[in-house]
Amino acid sequence: MKRIRNFSIIAHIDHGKSTLSDRLIQTAHIVADRDFKDQILDNMDIERERGITIKSQTVCLPYVAADGQAYTLNLIDTPGHVDFSYEVSRALASCEGALLLIDASQGVEAQTLANLMLAMEHDLEIIPVINKIDLPSADIERVKQQIKEDLGLDPEGALLVSAKEGTGIAEAMEAIVHRLPPPKGDADAPLQALIFDSHYDPFRGTIVHFRVFQGAIKPGDRIRFLSNGYTYKVEEVGLFQIVRKPQRAIAAGEVGYLIAGIKTVSDTRCGDTITLHANPCPQPLPGFREAQPVVFASIYPVAADTYEELTVALEKLKLNDASLIYEKDTSAALGFGYRCGFLGLLHLDVVQERLEREYDQSIILTVPSVGYKLILNDGEEMMIDNPVLYPDPTTIQQSLEPYIRASIIVPDRYMGAVMKLALDRRGINKNYQYLTSNRLEMIFELPLSEVIYDFYDRLKTVTQGYGSFDYEIIEYRPGKLAKLDILINGERVDALSQLVHEDRAYSRARVACDKLAEEIPRQQFKIAIQGTIGGKIIARSTVNAFRKDVTAKCYGGDITRKRKLLEKQKKGKKRMKMVGKVMLPQSAFLAVLKSDSE
């Protein structure tokens, strides 16, 4: 066990975690050069296309140190985006140390601080690493000063690395071996192992990723999951070395996988403890905090007969993404579907794309909303995230909406633009402080509903990509809530309903009606699209009808002939409108999701 090191790489988005992992993997020579590709641990297409990490991945690296000793390094590469910080906390639970990566040109950013706090909660040994020292804009001295002032770590111990060029990688390997502590544990004690991830393999069933804290596990053992008491016989255990490498046993301190013919996807839970059936451990390991969803939306299949397939796809996705929460839902316009909870809009976007790509599902998403708290006249409290369940407004005494505390770190030249953006979103400026001579941290309290819409994109735009943003939910505060309904041809489409703040209702309704008018194809009759609150219409757009020129064959003669034909046409259109049904294309639902491109 003295020769094992479990560590993860944590950092803000785009500071080079995946590239550093690539170099460490190349140094360990576990992949032949011809098979090597960049971002080798990002195995989902969507990760490679967007250049982001979504799932934390594990890899076991053999390494011979300068003193000739052979070590086993278990590296867990983690995501940097605020929506996936839950993945990071799960990865850190199975480590003893972490490399905190900082970009030499960008310096310390919001997510760097957030990830440092997560690592400190788990009592990890932290090595600061300054990456991208090959950039012309790299300012190493300034970053060292930030490490001392903002993070409170010793800047002298910081490693200087360029993951792209491969500079300083050997020193980083030595630092991991000599500065990070080995795992503690007793290989002879009863088995105690923590599940930190799992994925589904169509041939082998559920493959569980785990870290052993006490005891050992080998093929043939009968194991038990403590949360639900299910028992299984282990078929195979092994290590991750890009491909799965079976082993005779996995002992205390090691990270690996197990296959035990687990057919039901929902049996394995992240944070659960594995022990031996015959010789169980006295108590389970402390699991993870449950992820709290902040954004809610409904997912419906485009064709009603694919509902069963969607159910199976969500189950398999839930195994791989423990933070996804869903329950059954129905809609008059779209039939049966699921109401899902997400950690943020990027998370929603990724789940939608994975369902479409990996599971071949054609789905419709409804407008995302946040969870509101309503206090009714009889004093009863209710949580609501679905506009369909919104009660009669006369029965509501008070509505409360969730607020967040947002920390935005920007170069000071963008202070005015960020201030305007936050105040436009009903933000309250709490304070700001200079972190260095030209970078400041601004603290705002904002309603969450204003942030989920397109706040992050707008922030990146007004700060030319230099702004970094991190948030935590603080409390519920009173707000004026209204339910905005969209009527098409006088019929309400419940999938387009939204819960909005009264001050925002008019602009939201205006945008939704205009977007729908662009997307809905023209019919033989006029289509009215209206935004309403209660019985009051606050916005309207019209899709004009196709018009046949019925007077074309009349030339000259009395005007009454033309008028007669036009009247006849008008009556026909009116009759058609009574029976005409408007089919909403999929793009219309998506158009309402997109905010106005101001």
Nearest of 341, 295, 590, 591 to residue 455 by alpha carbon: 295
Same-domain pairing of 430 and 566: no
Same-domain pairing of 173 and 269: no
Same-domain pairing of 427 and 467: yes
Distance CA 414, CA 439 (A): 10
> Given 157, 179, 201, which residue is the final one in a domain?
179
Q: What is the mean pLDDT of residues 376-384?
A: 86
Helix (H) or strand (E) holding 38: none
582 versus 314: which is more confidently predicted?
314
- Give the list of residues 6+ apart from residue 493 with CB closer than 8 angstroms, or none: 333, 486, 487, 584
In a domain? residue 89: yes
Same-domain pairing of 140 and 44: yes
Is residue 491 classed exposed, middle or buried when 0-12, 13-18 and 19+ CB atoms within 10 A define those classes? Answer: exposed
In a domain? residue 534: yes
Q: Which of 231-245, 277-291, 466-480 is predicted least confidently?
A: 277-291
Q: Is the pLDDT of residue 598 over 50?
A: no
Same-domain pairing of 441 and 418: yes
Q: Which residue ranges are tagged as binding site for GTP? A: 14-19, 131-134
Same-domain pairing of 78 and 34: yes
Same-domain pairing of 321 and 429: no
Q: What is the domain extent for residue 43? A: 4-179
CB 591 within 8 A of CB 519: yes
Q: Which of 227-231, 520-524, 576-580 is predicted least confidently?
A: 576-580
The whole model's pTM is what?
A: 0.68
Q: What is the mean pLDDT of residues 117-127?
A: 84
Encode pLDDT of 457-499 as tens digits: 788 788 876 777 777 788 888 888 888 888 888 888 877 888 8
- How open is the CA angle 135-141-146, to the nearest 5 degrees? 105
The CATH number given to whatever domain includes residue 549 is 3.30.70.2570
- Give the list of residues 6+ apart from residue 147 with CB closer than 8 angstroms, or none: 102, 108, 128, 130, 153, 154, 155, 158
Concatenated DSSP letters for 475-509?
A: EEEE--EEEEEEEETTEE-GGG-EEEEHHHHHHHH
Q: Is the pLDDT of residue 597 over 60?
A: no
Q: Is the pLDDT of residue 34 over 80?
A: no
In a domain? residue 284: no
- DSSP symbol at 107: B
When pLDDT is cut at 50, 70 and 90, the band that residue 532 belongs to is very high
Q: Is the pLDDT of residue 265 over 80?
A: no
> Given 131, 151, 179, which residue is the final one in a domain?
179
In a domain? residue 100: yes
Same-domain pairing of 121 and 256: no
Q: Is the pLDDT of residue 451 over 50?
A: yes
Q: Which of 18-22, 111-115, 129-133 is predicted least confidently?
A: 111-115
In a domain? residue 498: no
Share of the chain above pLDDT 90, in %: 1
Same-domain pairing of 33 and 89: yes
Give the helix ranges, DSSP H, for 226-327.
Answer: 307-320
In a domain? residue 598: no
pLDDT of residue 86: 66
Same-domain pairing of 401 and 468: yes
3-state secondary structure of 443: strand
For the chain, the average pLDDT equals: 81
Number of domains the chain contains = 5
Label each residue of 131-196 as H, E or C. Answer: ECCCCCCCCHHHHHHHHHHHHCCCHHHCEECECCCCECHHHHHHHHHHHCCCCCCCCCCCCEEEEE
CB 281 within 8 A of CB 215: yes
The CATH number given to whatever domain includes residue 316 is 3.30.70.870
pLDDT of residue 132: 87
Encode pLDDT of 297-339 as tens digits: 888 888 778 888 888 888 878 776 767 888 888 877 678 889 8
Share of the chain above pLDDT 70, in %: 88
Q: Which residue ranges are tagged as binding site? A: 14-19, 131-134
